[in-house]
Amino acid sequence: MTASSAAHDPAEDDGRGTSPADEPTRVLVLNHRREPLQQIVQALRRAGHRATEARSLGESQRALDEARPHVLILNPVVLKAGGVELGLAEQQQSVRQPVPVVLLVDDLQALEATADLNVPIRDFVLKPASPDEVVHRVEAALRTRTELNRLIARTRELEDQAATDQKTGLFTDRYFRQILHVEYKRALRHGTSLSMLWVDIDDFKSINDSTSYEFGDEVLRYVAGALRNGIRETDYAARFGGDEFTLLLPHTTPAEAVQTAIRIRRKIAGQIVQAHGFSRTVTLSVGIDTYTGRTESSPDELRARANKALHVAKRNGKDQVWLFDQDGTGRAEDAGRRKSDPPATRGESEAAE
């Protein structure tokens, strides 16, 4: 998975009775008391709304199943907390698509039952209800709903920006850490493998120094694209910062992680990046660690071990894939692990470039 922009909320409308598709807003009148509300329904229709009246719980449920309304007008038989009718109103709510509720009540005391009603936008009209007053309250609720939708969309946009690295379109490291903790708990609960790849562009500083920062950005985007295209839709790719990237591969064994890393490394090494009058061959070093459930670990340890393996790969010549294990760190592309190579220690990892 890679970062993507927040989707437009189809429930947003202009507040006056038309949706983005220029369809009338749907107003459902739940008239369970079967009082004469036909004038209200007709007034709503004259104002451009698609008003429907339901006179029983069964009719109301069928109408709600057919189409989710933009506004509910509720004339309940019994107005009480936890009642079936208020429950219907609450069931229509969602974080991204709130449905305003206009209550028709006999007196203000009746509103006490709605104090804990889980409806973000609600209003009331005292009976006998004037049709014009009801239309006014409905359209005021629609305007409030539209503004709330705008705020929700803006919040999603800001969340998306916080999750997305603007230069590469991959996840940010901050968001990646959240994903890592979630996926680690899932792997722990279900006893499945979870692999992490730590990827570094070899000699990236030299590329920047000998070309231009614009070309360096093109190299970052090229590598990000190769990483994104080299993993499954259920995997995650993030930019750690500078010239480093991280990949998280759920349900992936060490051998499968190695094959994925080798495939990506070879694809990058076989291409030449050309842009802004420069051309360079780019190579990657990759460190891998996998949680298999056989030993105690943690999300932070998974990151640390993959990073240790990466530093050993760079220290041993770069353009390599290395796999961390408890005995030592072996080069994954070798036929067998090189036992002569010492395990990566914390001091060695921090000192390696």
344 or 78: whose pLDDT is higher? 78
Inside any domain, residue 4 = no
Cα–Cα distance, 222 to 268 (Å, whole number): 9
Domain membership flag for residue 14? no
Average pLDDT of span 316-334: 74
Q: What does DSSP say about strands 26-31 and 71-75: parallel, antiparallel, or unpaired?
A: parallel
Residue-averaged pLDDT of the chain: 84
37 and 99 share one domain: yes
CATH number of the domain where residue 347 is located: 3.30.70.270
Is 281 inside a domain boundary? yes
124 in a domain, yes or no?
Answer: yes
DSSP-assigned beta bridge partners for residue 125: 104
- Indicate the residue among 162, 181, 201 that finishes a domain: 162
pLDDT of 24: 85
- Give CA–CA dist 282/286, Å, rounded: 13
pLDDT for 330 equals 60
* Model confidence, pTM: 0.54
Confidence at 3, pLDDT banded by 50, 70, 90: low
Are 178 and 158 in the same domain? no
DSSP of 66-132, one letter per residue?
Answer: H---SEEEEE-SS--TT-HHHHHHHHT--SSS---EEEEESSGGGGGGGTT---SSEEEEESSPPHH
24 forms beta bridges with 18
pLDDT band at 10 (very low <50, low <70, confident <90, very high): very low
Do 66 and 120 share a domain, yes or no? yes
Q: What is the CATH number of the domain that holds 92?
A: 3.40.50.2300
Contact 65, 110 (CB under 8 A): no
Residue 202 has what pLDDT?
95
Return the pLDDT at 326.
Answer: 64
Lowest mean pLDDT among 65-74, 104-113, 179-188, 207-216: 104-113
Greater confidence (345 vs 156) lies with 156
Q: Do 202 and 243 fall within a single domain? A: yes
Q: Where does a domain end: 162, 183, 211?
A: 162
Domain that holds residue 187: 171-351
Residues 298 and 343 in one domain: yes
Mean per-residue pLDDT, 162-180: 91
